Structures are given as structure tokens and as C-alpha cells.
Amino acid sequence: MSRFVSLLMLLFLILSNQANSRAAEKTLDIKSEAAVLVDSETGAILYNKNSDERLFPASLTKIATAIYAIENGNIDDIVAISPRAVKEEGTRVYLVEGERVPLKKLIQGMLINSGNDAAVAIAEHIDGSVEKFAVNINKYLTKKIGVSNTNFTNPNGLYNENHYTTAKDLALITNYAKKNPVFTEIFGTKELPWSGESWETTLLTHHRLLKGEIPVEGITGGKTGFVNESKHTLATTAENEHIKLTAIVLKGDRSKDTYQDTEKLIEYGLNSFQHRIIKQDELFKMKEKEYYAKSDIVITEHVNGSKESITEQGTLEVVNDGEVIQSIQLEVKEPERVKVKVKEEKLLTSEQSSINIIYGIIVFAFAGLFLGVRKRLVKRQ
């Protein structure tokens, strides 16, 4: 009896721990205005707070500028620094007019030290002017990356009422950029010796989690941002052996808030989610139809399991805590009509052959009868 009671108590503790864990996940107490946590590889949205709200990104804009420049320029190009770039306000890497700097070095100065002057120099080099850059990068972000709620007017994130984005769009941009090895290298750089005509120093990332000032396991990259109108913004990537994450936090009243929010999001994601592979031959049934994936698909699921369901349109939905975190369109499995058709053709062929044989016998019989009658007539004559 005592053993039975012990087992019941153990079961109760396990269930209550899981319930408490799930409850804690729902109440992460994110203080910033908007936040999103996304699986960097599958795109699954693991946490969402106002992620579609239009807000000012400040220097998180430079993530977009960096990947745009890497894909549309040559990182070995030498860039001549213009008067406009030198005069740009805010954080700088102290470029000098006429100074000639490799494009990659400018991207490094822009991402690591948040150089606004470097961002303008990049925009002018790629598109000739900041104004033309704004037109082209918005087209690029929409068509190439698939953002739906973003409009940039400059390459560095200085305030403009028409310069806005969302946490979800920034996560899309960061996930796309992370696929590029040049961007990933720079985005994860903690420090870099810098030698310019007016400035000899070592650039240090402003991101305290990446730098290690706030110890959080698994941090792989990051970018900070601040202007008065945007308040504090933060983009962070992290990973462990199970999953890679992107966390975007916008409009924190204090820098401390954005870091605490990000720490909660990253720890939640790394501890709570993992990948599972849906095999190509795995079938899902909805009413009278069966669905399948054309190839193996990676989905994100909770370590304690997530619910999977199929819509009437054949979309596989992965659900965690009542929220759809990932949607995948499957292919409908058609009935094996080809085999039936082959059998029908074989049957028709067999029937046709039988009919042909019968006709042949009849024709042969008539021919024999005709020849016999003819012979008799010949003999009588």
C-alpha cells in the first residue's frame, strides 16, 4: 500500500512540475512593448507579444543594411567616404572625408560599433545615395525576405516617422541574414581592432549578452539600438544542440528591461523546445483525405510534446499551449488510379483478344464452308 501511495505522490509531483513549467512559460512577464522569439531554422514562433505592432527599430535597422550590402555589393570593394557620411549624427566610427575603406570593414564598424557614418557610406556605395538606398532596400526586404510591415528611410535607424518595422519582420530579416556566413561572422564578433585615419582603437560589441557581461549560455550574436522615439531595442541569436533562436525586443523603457526580457526568452526557448523530423512517407489523415510531405520536414516542438493537427486545406499545424507556432502545407495523396487504369487496360486488351479470336473462328468456319460448297458444285458440273 505504501508503495502505491509513493507512486501516486511521484506522479503528482511530475504532473505538477510540468503544469508549473507551462504556467511559467505563459507568464514570462516581458516588460518591453513588443517581443518575439523565433526558431531561426524553422521559423516557428515560440513567443509573441505585439509582434505585428509597428515600432521604430533604431539601430536594429543595420541588420537589414548589412545583409543587403553583403548580397548586393562586393565586400572587397574600396569605398570612398563622402562628406555626408562624415557628418552623420549619433554613434560613429569617426570616418574622414575622402578616406578609403573596404566595404567589409564598414559593415563591421556598423554592426559591432553601430557606426551611423559607416551605414551612410555603405548606402551611398551600393546605391549612390541614401534616398535611392531606401527605395531599393524596401523592395529587397519585401521581395527577397518577405517582410510585410516594414518601411525604412535610412540605413542606420535614426528617427523618421516613416521609418518603422515590427518585431516579427525583424526576426525574419535576422533569420535570413544568419544564413550568410559573412554576416554571421560579423554579427557574432565581440571585439575587433580598428585602424582608421582618425581613430585607432579596438571595437567592442555594445551587446552585453554577446560580450559576456550578462552571462547567458548559447549567445551567438546580437545588435543593440536606441533613439529617444524607439526607446531601447535588442536583437539576439542563441543556440544549443537542439535548437537555434532569434529574439527581438522592441521599445523597452530601460536597457535593463530589454536584457532581462531577452534573457527570459532565450532561456525559455533553449530549455523548452527541440526539433523533430517528419518523414517523407509519414501520412496525415483529414476526413477522407490523406496528406504527406514532399520531403523530410523539420518541425519545432515542446520538449514535453506539442499537438499536431491537420486543417481541411491540408495544412499541418504545430500547436503549443493553444497557440499555432508553425504551419506547413502538405500535399494531398491521390488515389492510386494509375494502377487501376492499367488493370482496366489489361482487362480490355484481354477481352478484345477473346473477341478477335471468336471473330477469327467464325471467319475461318465460313471460309471452310464456302470452299466445301464450291467443291461440290464443281464436281456436279
Q: In what order do the strands lie in the sheet with 45-49?
A: 45-49, 34-39, 244-252, 231-239, 219-227
- CA of 96: how far to CAs of 7, 113, 125, 202, 243, in Å? 73, 16, 15, 18, 43
Side-chain-side CA neighbours of 285 within 13 Å: the count stands at 2
Let me know: does 128 contact 85? Beta carbons within 8 Å: no
Let me know: does 126 contact 137? Beta carbons within 8 Å: no
Q: Which of 114, 230, 272, 306 is catalytic?
A: 114
Indicate the angle between helix axes 103-112 and 116-127, nearest 10 degrees: 140
- Kindly give, in sequence order, each residue whose CB lies less than 8 Å from that of residue 21, ignoring residues fewer than 6 positions away: 272, 304
User: How deeply is 347 buried, as exposed, middle or buried, from its count of CB atoms within 10 A (0-12, 13-18, 19+)?
Assistant: exposed
Indicate the angle between helix axes 61-72 and 130-140, nearest 10 degrees: 90
- Residue 278 burial (CB count, 10 A): 19
> Is residue 354 among the annotated active site residues?
no
- Kindly give, in sequence order, each residue whose CB lies less than 8 Å from that of residue 152, ignoring residues fewer than 6 positions away: 61, 64, 134, 137, 138, 141, 163, 165
Distance of CA 122 to the CA centre of its chain: 26
Q: Which of 31, 49, 62, 104 is catalytic?
A: 62
Let me know: does 92 contact 74? Beta carbons within 8 Å: no
As a whole number of angstroms, the distance between CA 187 and CA 50 comes to 25
> Is residue 350 among the annotated active site residues?
no
**Helical (H) or strand (E) element with 236:** strand 231-239
Q: Which of 32, 40, 51, 59 is catalytic?
A: 59
> Is residue 62 among the annotated active site residues?
yes
Buried b (16+ CB within 10 A) or exposed e, 187-208: bbbeebebebeeeeeebebbbb
As a whole number of angstroms, the distance between CA 171 and CA 376 comes to 101
As a whole number of angstroms, the distance between CA 190 and CA 203 comes to 8
Cell digits for 290?
Answer: 490523406
Residue numbers annotated as active site: 59, 62, 114
